[in-house]
Amino acid sequence: MSLRQLKTISERRKYLEEKLKLKLSATAIFPQGLNDAQYKNCENMIGCTQVPLGIAGPLKITGNYAKGNYYLPLSTTEGALVASVNRGCKAVTLSGGVTAFCLDVGITRGAVFKTGNIKQSVSLQKFLEENISLLKKKASSTSSHLQLIGLKIKIVGKFVFVRFNFDSQEAMGMNMATIAADKLVRIISEKTQNRCLSLAANFDIDKKPSYLNFLEGRGRQVMAEAIITESVVRQVLKTSPQKIDEVAKVKCYLGSIVAGSLGFNAHYANIIAALFISTGQDVAHVAEGSIGITSTEIVDSNLYISVSLPDLPLGTVGGGTLLPSQQESLKILKVTKGVKGEKSRALAEIIAAAVLAGELSLLSALSVGSLSESHQKFARAKIKQG
């Protein structure tokens, strides 16, 4: 008998408890409706790992798709994170809110073909460019929710890397893109006699920080900005616009250059990960979302701050978004209903706005040396009895 031969979550958990002589009582606690996850989200499922969920906000957002005041569901085990983002939300909202803007870049899948020589590689590139209409038609036949919107081609001797770019509407779309790309490479191989060595050849580039995605974008490309008044900076953030601006430039620009980082920011990954876990996104895509730029400047004694997230794969349908608690978080963010195609864009704008609030608060703490104090207060707080 093995785990994969067992049919239910409880049977697998009991089997493992007996095998390892453990009691997995906490793992056994999960809400009704999560049983279906064993068929769609997690193989050999034995239960659920629970992550604390905190709320920050409200955060006032004026975007193309996200408009209003939002509470942010943040799943994390890092003490001080929710408090920090909450402080940023307060400062931003008191100053009039954050403006956000989302662009659909498209999800990608990058395959590689092997030809006989460079001449054949150039010939394959020509074929792809001349038959883009055929490829678009074939891609759409795999799903009514998917469209091929472009190609990027890179020749390296006998190897031709092809980056297929898809519009996946409300879904993050990685599985849809993979299925469509598989059909396309088969057609290409059949018509050109060039073998596809790998359907996924890192030209995507999926779940890795990359300068290509930094420049080209992937999934959603999102930007947000706000002007924080000098009075709010002093009263709420307990610092000055000038101090925040100096820290931001030295840390996010110079520090990142010295380190050779692709992330010119304070901590995008913190906020993105917390929101991704809450809303059922593929958490591995935090590796991509972490790249981006935070910029600041002084405008009439106030602080201007902006964030740029070029690579944010996400969706409001599919994957883990249908799980019970993740659905509740999406409802908190008001992105489960609305015009087709706009819910995922709204989610992207909310995440960008939340990232801005998180950046503002951390940079403020660093500017007055209170980062350690905050972690001491929240992350090491004594547990109250009774």
Which DSSP string do the residues of 48-88 spell out, in sequence order? -----EEEEEEEEEEESS-EEEEEEEEE-S-TTHHHHHHHH
Assess whether 329 and 262 both reside in one domain: yes
What CATH number corresponds to the domain at position 142?
3.30.70.420
Assess whether 236 and 310 both reside in one domain: yes
Where among 146, 165, 198 does a domain terminate? 198
212 lies in some domain: no
Q: 149: helix, coil or strand?
A: strand
Side chain identity at residue 123, one-letter code = S
Assess whether 371 and 244 both reside in one domain: yes
Among the listed residues 282, 288, 311, 359, the single catalytic one is 282
Burial of 386 (0-12, 13-18, 19+ CB in 10 A): exposed
Assess whether 247 and 181 both reside in one domain: no
Active-site residue flag, 182: no
Expressed in angstroms, the distance from the first to the final Cα of the chain is 45
pLDDT tens for each residue of 157-196: 999 999 999 999 999 999 999 999 999 999 999 999 999 9
pLDDT tens for each residue of 91-145: 999 999 999 999 999 999 999 999 999 999 999 999 999 999 999 999 999 999 9
Mean pLDDT, residues 291-301 taken together: 98
Q: 385: helix, coil or strand?
A: coil
* Residue scoring higher pLDDT (385 or 19): 19
- Distance, CA of 361 to CA of 170 (rounded, Å): 31
209 lies in some domain: no
Among the listed residues 17, 78, 182, 230, the single catalytic one is 78
Assess whether 278 and 361 both reside in one domain: yes
Domain around 14: 3-40
Mean pLDDT, residues 296-313 taken together: 98
Assess whether 241 and 369 both reside in one domain: yes
188 lies in some domain: yes
Our measurement of the distance from residue 304's CA atom to the centroid of its chain's CA atoms, rounded to an integer in Å, reads: 24
Mean pLDDT, residues 348-355 taken together: 98
- Tokens matching residue 64: 């193309």
Q: 42: helix, coil or strand?
A: coil
Note the pLDDT of residue 235: 98
CA quadruple 81, 223, 98, 243: dihedral sign: positive
308 lies in some domain: yes
The residue length of the chain stands at 386
Note the pLDDT of residue 200: 97
316 lies in some domain: yes
Residue 153 has pLDDT above 80, yes or no: yes
- Distance, CA of 363 to CA of 371 (rounded, Å): 9
- Distance, CA of 237 to CA of 207 (rounded, Å): 34
100 lies in some domain: yes
Active-site residue flag, 282: yes
Assess whether 314 and 185 both reside in one domain: no
pTM score, two decimals? 0.94
Place 33 in a pLDDT band, splitting at 50, 70 and 90: confident
Angle formed at CA 116 by CA 115 and CA 121, multiple of 5 degrees:
45
- Tokens matching residue 276: 């991704």
CB 147 within 8 A of CB 136: yes
Assess whether 350 and 231 both reside in one domain: yes
Residue 136 makes CB contacts below 8 A (sequence gap 6+) with 147, 148
- Number of Cα atoms under 13 Å in the Cβ half of residue 123: 13
Closest by Cα among 277, 266, 367 to 77: 277
Assess whether 312 and 363 both reside in one domain: yes
Residue 372 has pLDDT above 70, yes or no: no
186 lies in some domain: yes
Where among 198, 230, 255 does a domain terminate? 198
Residue 301 has pLDDT above 70, yes or no: yes
Assess whether 243 and 332 both reside in one domain: yes
Assess whether 253 and 320 both reside in one domain: yes
249 lies in some domain: yes
Residue 354 has pLDDT above 70, yes or no: yes
Helix axes 371-378, 343-368, angle to 10 degrees: 110
Residue with tokens 């009582």: 25
Assess whether 278 and 139 both reside in one domain: no
- Alpha helices, DSSP H, located in the chain: 9-20, 37-40, 81-94, 118-130, 132-140, 174-192, 211-216, 230-235, 241-248, 256-259, 268-279, 286-289, 324-332, 343-368, 371-378
- Portion of the chain with pLDDT greater than 90, in percent: 91
Active-site residue flag, 78: yes
CB 275 within 8 A of CB 72: yes
As for how many domains the chain has, the answer is 3
- Distance, CA of 163 to CA of 125 (rounded, Å): 12
- Distance, CA of 105 to CA of 111 (rounded, Å): 19
- Distance, CA of 164 to CA of 188 (rounded, Å): 13
